[in-house]
A = this chain, B = another copy of it.
Amino acid sequence: MGPMTTPGIDDVRLAAVRIAPFVHRTPVMTSASLDALVGAPVRFKCEHLQRAGAFKYRGATNAVQALDAATAARGVAAHSSGNHAAALALAAATRGIPCHVVMPADAPEAKQAAARAYGATVVLCEPTLAARAETLAEVVARTGAVEIHPYDHPDVIAGQGTATLELLEQAPAVRTVVAPVSGGGLLSGTAIAAHGTDPSISVIGAEPANVDDAHRSLAAGRLVTDRNTTSIADALLAVLSERTLSILSAHQVEVVTVTEDEIVDAMALVFERLKQVVEPSAAVALAGVAALVRTGAPPPGEVGVILSGGNVDLAALPFDRRVTGTSAPAGRGKR
């Protein structure tokens, strides 16, 4: 596939078959009190219960399993500071091939340890994008490994779409699917899977206002990646690629932005009402739904929300910094 190959619904369906022996079919959860808050039934797709703790394992597994035997034998490689590293490491280990992960030297020790625990060779580099790209190029040149990009890769995008394919099987009345957006791999796969199932389903991305390049790029019709700062949603710091921008544009995906406080409040709702441990980035989609409801533009019909990952540092949970307190104790535990 060429550099601008974009997958279609058939690729997502093929991915679903290809990865079925390796991935969890994650459950869908609900909460009566969250339904009341949103004013519509909300179906949470629990990808924080996926292997390696995030949806990333779907895309990584699809890309690794799609390789021909000779290519696969040379191994795979990526640079990542987050969930893609662990996901690719586990996907490679499952196929029994080498995996090289380039990580910035300041990546959390736990993330480095997770990649190593799954058998990857971790190569540390300076914490700049330039150093990461350069080090990865060196690793690829030295080992012959094939790069598996965390989102700018058609097999990865198709793999991520399988979460929505499952969600729409498990909750067929869903009329809107909401997913977080970072580089756009998950959101692109979500749009392809949703519209391939039913073109009338609304697809909405949710993004930290601090890192709103997807929102601005879709508005401008071209990549706009300046002005990004940082966010507690530390898995959402990447920027769209030409490929993911073109997919999201073609599917007329809307992107809603949320504040840091809204992310923490949504995360508290997931902990208190669903009793599920998710990372801040995984709460961004619910924060987006809440923002739409608050501004009088609720998403149409039954809502599917992708809970994208659960790899959170328990020693750094953000609940001491809650300010707005949307999460009243009254409904705690109501389901």
Q: Is A66 an interface residue (CB 8 A)?
A: no
Q: Name the B residues within 8 Å of A315 (CB-CB).
A: 319-320, 322
Q: Is A4 an interface residue (CB 8 A)?
A: no
> By the criterion of a CB under 8 Å from any partner CB, how many residues of chain A are at the interface?
39
Query: B334 to A51, Cβ gap below 8 A?
Result: yes
Query: B277 to A329, Cβ gap below 8 A?
Result: no
Q: Which of A284-321 contact B (CB under 8 A)?
A: 310-311, 314-315, 317, 319-320
Chain B nearest CB, measured from A106 CB (Å): 16
Query: A275 to B272, Cβ gap below 8 A?
Result: no
Query: B49 to A335, Cβ gap below 8 A?
Result: yes
Interface residues of A, Cβ cutoff 8 Å to B = 24, 27, 48-54, 86, 109-110, 113-114, 116-117, 268, 271-272, 275-278, 310-311, 314-315, 317, 319-320, 322, 328-335
Query: A330 to B114, Cβ gap below 8 A?
Result: yes
Could you say how many copies of this chain the assembly holds? Answer: 2
Q: Which residue of B lies closest to A24 (CB)?
A: B335
Chain B nearest CB, measured from A92 CB (Å): 15
Bound-complex Cα distance A319 to B312 (A) = 12
Chain B nearest CB, measured from A234 CB (Å): 15
Query: A114 to B332, Cβ gap below 8 A?
Result: yes
Q: Which residue of B lies closest to A111 (CB)?
A: B329
Bound-complex Cα distance A334 to B114 (A) = 10
Q: Given A49-B335, A335-B49, are A329 and B275 also a contact pair (CB < 8 Å)?
A: no
Chain B nearest CB, measured from A114 CB (Å): 6
Bound-complex Cα distance A276 to B314 (A) = 12
Query: A271 to B275, Cβ gap below 8 A?
Result: no
Query: B333 to A52, Cβ gap below 8 A?
Result: yes
Query: B332 to A53, Cβ gap below 8 A?
Result: yes
Chain B nearest CB, measured from A310 CB (Å): 4
- When the two chains form the complex, which single residue of B24, B51, B272, B335 contacts A314, counting CB atoms closer than 8 Å? B272
